[in-house]
Amino acid sequence: MAEHPNRAILARIAQPPHLRVLPFEQNVTVPFYNEVSGDKIYTTSTTLYKGEIDISFVMDDPFWYSVKNILGEQNVTQGYYEESWHDADGQLVSIRNSPDALKIVYEDRIPLGSTTAVDVFLGGDTYASVKYEIWSLIAAEPVYELAEWEEISER
């Protein structure tokens, strides 16, 4: 499991890095493709550094933020979010079967698109507009006709 798969923080280098490295020459091959003569391999050398580097970071804003403000993969044709996501290994898995996703829901209080019960602004141009169906429609900004707005306000 990833430690915090949906959290990020902005950081900058606090002071110049301290380097303890030794340079080594490393021979490498560079392939080129030519339609007339075919593939040709060239050799050259590059510098490979081995050793240690100490880097110190500082976070001006000490608060972490959420990478995603809603979990799930958006079904582009239908507009709603399905309960699947790409885990730390890049595999598309069900959110309910992913320990990392469940940890995000519990610790960070990030909602699933399918469990949104009321219309809510989720931040970052994302608005959940709950329909009568059992799923939520996620859109950039809701646009209502006057008749629709009157119907919504009567609820």
The predicted model scores a pTM of 0.48
Q: pLDDT tens string for the chain (155 positions)?
A: 356 778 888 999 999 999 999 999 999 998 887 777 777 888 999 999 999 999 999 998 888 887 777 777 777 676 667 788 887 788 888 888 888 888 888 888 887 776 766 777 777 666 666 665 544 445 445 555 555 555 655 55
Cα 34 to the center of its chain, rounded Å: 39
Report pLDDT digits (tens) over 60-95: 888 888 777 777 777 767 666 778 888 778 888 888
97-130 burial code (b ≥16 CB/10 A, e <16): ebebbebbbeebebbbbebbeeeeebeeebebbe
- pLDDT number for residue 134: 44
DSSP strand pairing (57-58 vs 18-34)? unpaired
